[in-house]
Amino acid sequence: MMAPLPYYCIYCGHEEPQVYKTYAEGNLVKLLQCSSCYNLVDPYCEYDTTLLSINVVLQNKKAYRHILLNTWFENFWKLAIVFLFCESYCSWCFQKGMESKANYADFYELETNFYRALLRTIVSTAAFDGLICCPF
């Protein structure tokens, strides 16, 4: 995987030539500061994939900036599918909590309600993306 050049600060968006500098034949790595805001350019380059994924699921803006700006990420469609399922699950849970029925004995009715929530989420996301991306 090759990261794109130039890099961008995840705090202020300022363009930087590099994120870290290596010393002692690659044995020592030092993160560099942004020349604009004096924060570390991208501390997420040291994070493990699991920690980065947790920050993305928690919707941390800096983690999104790291993925979108400072990495060579090609599988946006996989990320979109995961977010659609998460949003559908949240919508389904909210709907299930709002309904007046106390007990659900039928598993298939629960599953059908989830698929309805998934379809509703896909349609609403497509409509939102269409309105945002459509040039007027």
Residue 64 shares a structural domain with residue 81: no
* 2 assigned to some structural domain: no
Structure tokens at 127: 């409509």
Q: What is the Cα–Cα distance from 65 to 74, expressed in whole angstroms?
A: 15
- Residue after which a domain boundary falls, among 18, 36, 70: 70
Of 48 and 27, the structure prediction assigns the larger pLDDT to 48
Selection from 31, 24, 19, 21 nearest residue 71 by Cα? 19
Number of domains in the chain: 2
Residue 113 shares a structural domain with residue 60: no
Task: Enumerate residues 6+ apart whose C-beta is below 8 A from 124.
Answer: none
Q: How confident is the model at residue 40 (pLDDT cuts 50, 70, 90)?
A: very high
Residue 85 shares a structural domain with residue 128: yes
What pLDDT was estimated at residue 58?
86
- Asked whether residue 50 carries a pLDDT value surpassing 70, the answer given is yes
* 1 assigned to some structural domain: no
Residue 80 shares a structural domain with residue 129: yes
pLDDT in tens, 53-88: 899 888 888 998 888 888 887 777 887 888 888 888
Residue 62 shares a structural domain with residue 105: no
* 126 assigned to some structural domain: yes
Selection from 41, 50, 51 nearest residue 17 by Cα? 41
Per the prediction, the chain carries an average pLDDT of 82
Q: How confident is the model at residue 1 (pLDDT cuts 50, 70, 90)?
A: very low
- Asked whether residue 104 carries a pLDDT value surpassing 60, the answer given is no
Residues in the chain: 136
- Asked whether residue 101 carries a pLDDT value surpassing 60, the answer given is no
